[in-house]
Structures are given as C-alpha cells and as structure tokens.
Amino acid sequence: MKSVKVLLLAVAFVVISGLLYAQAKDPYKVFNDYLAMAKKGVAYDGAPLEGKVVGFANALGAFPFCALVENSIKKQLALAGCNLNQDWISMDNQFNPMVALQNVDTLLSRQPDILIEYQLDVKTNHIIAAKFGEAKIPVVAIDVAIPGAHLVGTNNYTVAVMAGHTMAKLIRQKWGGWDSVDLVVIMNASAPGEHPMLRSEGVADALADEFGIDSKQDPKIVRSRGGIGQLDQAKAAMDDVLAAHPEAVNIAVTSFNEPIMMGCITAMKGAGRWNPDNKIIVTMGVDQLGQSLIRDGLSDAGVAFFPEYYGDYIVPVVAAMLTGNPVPPAIFVQNEVITKANIDRWYPKQ
C-alpha cells in the first residue's frame, strides 16, 4: 500500500511539474488553447463557461457591424458551454452614452460573472470601469479601452495606417503621386475621444510617411466628422467639404466606417464630382456594405476588421478569465486589405 501511495505521489508530482513548466513557458497557455479551439469552431474542453452568466452591451444592435460582433460572440459562448437561454444578458447601448449608463445599472442588478462592453464614449467607459470595479465584476472591452479591462478587437491606429498606405499606393497607380492630388478627405465619426482620432491620424501619418508631407499642416488633407453611421449626416458633412473645395478634381476619401462612406459617395455623386478616374475610395471595416462597395466598384479597397470573428478572440478571453487563468492585456484581430482582386478569397460569393 505504501508503495502505491508513493507511486501516486510521484505521478502527481510529474503532472504538476509538467503543468507548471508549461505555464512558465507560456503564461497564456490556457487562453491560447481556448483560442485554438475557437478558431477551429469546436467545443471548448471542459465547457469552461457552463453555469457562468455573461453580460453584454452592444454599441448599436441594429448596426450591421455590431450585429456581426454579437452573433460571433454568441456562437463562441455556446461552444464554451454557456447556456444562452438563461445565462446570456444582452443590452443595446444605441450609440448613446446615457442609454449605456442605464444599461450598466440594469446589468449590475443582474450580477453577471463578467461584462463584455462595446462602448465608444470615453467618459462613459470610465464610469463603467468604476461601477463594475466596485462590484468586483471583470470587464472585457471591445475596440475602445476601458480602464482596468482587457481590450479585444481592432487596433484603431494600425488599421488607419494600413488604409493610409493603401491610399498612397492607389494615388501612385492612378495619379502618379502627391502632386496630382487635389483633396484627401478623412471623414471621421462624431464620437468624442481617441478612438476616432486614432483612425484619422493613422491615415494622415501614413500619407506623410509615403509622400514626405506634413500630416498636420498639408492643406490637401481635410478632416471632417460625419456622424456615427447615418447616411444623411455623412452626406451633409461631405457636402460642406466639397463646397469648400470647388476646384478639387482628384479626390481621395476614407472614413471611420462604411455607412459614413456611403454618405460621402452619395454627396460626391450629387455634386457631379464622381468620376472613376478622379476618385479613390478606401473604406474601413468591410462589413456587408463594404463588401458590396468593393464588388460594385464604388470602393477601391477596404481594410477588413472581420467582425464575424470577434467572438473567436473575445470568448477565449472570457473563458480564461473565469477559470482563473491569465490573458494578455490586449488582443487584436488580424486585418487584411480587401480589393476586387482578392475579395472572393475572404468572402466567397454565396
């Protein structure tokens, strides 16, 4: 009997030593294992989220990009063992900070094990951090940082730089260089904070790097705000830009998202300043609308954020956190530049 106990202790020691070694070699091993399962689309080992209540506040549920994000999260939660019928609490922030704060109080009253928050307003995010921190409920932030929360989503500056370099390449191909550019419009969102700022300044910085211009002072670069995704607000903003630059012929445009770009395109067409030879359009997101813009020849290129795969990154974070395992402080999705030449590779026609 004694020899059996010694043998069992020896085996336990080897197992524990192996686990500790693996943990030391890769401190995020559990998270990475869940991430691998998520990307394969298989059930997570051990159903780590079984019995766990997950709260979610979406930026705007009716927005196509946000809807894709939510659906991808729900798909992965189910694979991780979460019962969506009873342990999933979903709220809609409606792109409204006041609604977001009301949702925070509702979610707190339900006492979820974790909150996944998609909220663009920086001040609101600080309030969310304080309230959930006091309640000792962990938070995962999507796209926009929340103090003390793990951040998952798109690196705003990185995608903006990608868009700027893509625009520079198209400028050289179509017009020969910066001297032939009349106007670059960076149509940002109207939301406050660094989230929209990073999107616009990344584009300008990339153009400065490519052409040796001053990203802050060059008069050809015009920044404007086109709402948050409403076509009429974006159109009105672009109307004003075009009216202020009546002589501009070769015009390049990028925008915070594709609904805003649709407003810009509508304004250019309405002003009689839409000519395939004289326009360059680079979008950000490549959701269903962005894909249509590329396929229809309205957009020259787009930087894809792949919202349909956000859950592949978010839920492994949630599963690792709720099983007491460390996760990286920020996890960013992979991005790609999509054009008419490669769109079927990433988004095959149905």
pLDDT, one tens digit for every residue, the chain (350 residues)? 555 444 444 444 444 444 444 455 789 999 999 999 999 999 999 999 999 999 999 999 988 899 999 999 999 999 999 999 999 999 999 989 999 999 999 999 999 999 999 998 888 999 999 999 999 999 999 999 999 999 999 999 999 999 999 999 999 999 999 999 999 999 988 765 666 678 788 999 999 999 999 999 999 999 999 887 788 999 999 999 999 999 999 999 999 999 999 999 999 999 999 999 999 999 999 999 999 999 999 999 999 999 999 999 999 999 999 999 999 989 999 999 999 999 999 999 87
Domain-located, residue 129: yes
Q: Are residues 28 and 146 in the same domain?
A: yes
Give me the pLDDT at residue 4, please.
Answer: 45
Phi, psi of 348 (to 5 degrees): -60, 145
Residue 343 belongs to a domain: no
195 and 328 together in one domain: no
Residues 124 and 160 in one domain: no
Instruction: Report pLDDT for 7.
Output: 43
Instruction: Clarify whether residues 195 and 247 are in a common domain.
Output: yes
pLDDT score at 115: 98
| 174 shares a domain with 103 | no
DSSP, res 220: T
What's the pLDDT at 24? 57
HSE of 183 in the Cβ direction (CA atoms, 13 Å)? 23
- Residue 239 within a domain: yes
Same domain, 130 and 178: no
- DSSP-derived secondary structure letter, 43: P
Q: How many domains does the chain have?
A: 2
CA–CA separation, 301 vs 286, rounded Å? Answer: 9
Report the 10 Å Cβ neighbour count for 118: 25
Domain co-membership, 229 together with 131? no
pLDDT score for 13: 45
Domain identity same for 170 and 229: yes
Q: What is the pLDDT of residue 121?
A: 86
Q: Rg of the chain's alpha carbons, rounded to an integer?
A: 23
DSSP H helices, the chain, are: 2-25, 29-40, 64-79, 97-110, 122-134, 156-175, 194-211, 231-244, 258-270, 288-295, 310-322, 343-346
Expressed as residue numbers, the domain containing 197 is 156-304
Tell me, yes or no, whether 123 and 192 share the same domain.
no
Length of the chain: 350
Residue 122: its pLDDT value, please? 85
Q: Is residue 340 a part of any domain in this protein?
A: no
The pLDDT of residue 14 is 42
- Note whether residue 346 is domain-resident: no
Is 189 among the domain residues?
yes
- pTM confidence score: 0.87
Domain-located, residue 256: yes
**Does 15 share its domain with 147?**
yes
Look up the CATH number of the domain holding residue 200: 3.40.50.2300
Is the domain of 230 the same as that of 112?
no
Q: Are residues 160 and 147 in the same domain?
A: no
The answer to whether position 119 is within a domain reads yes
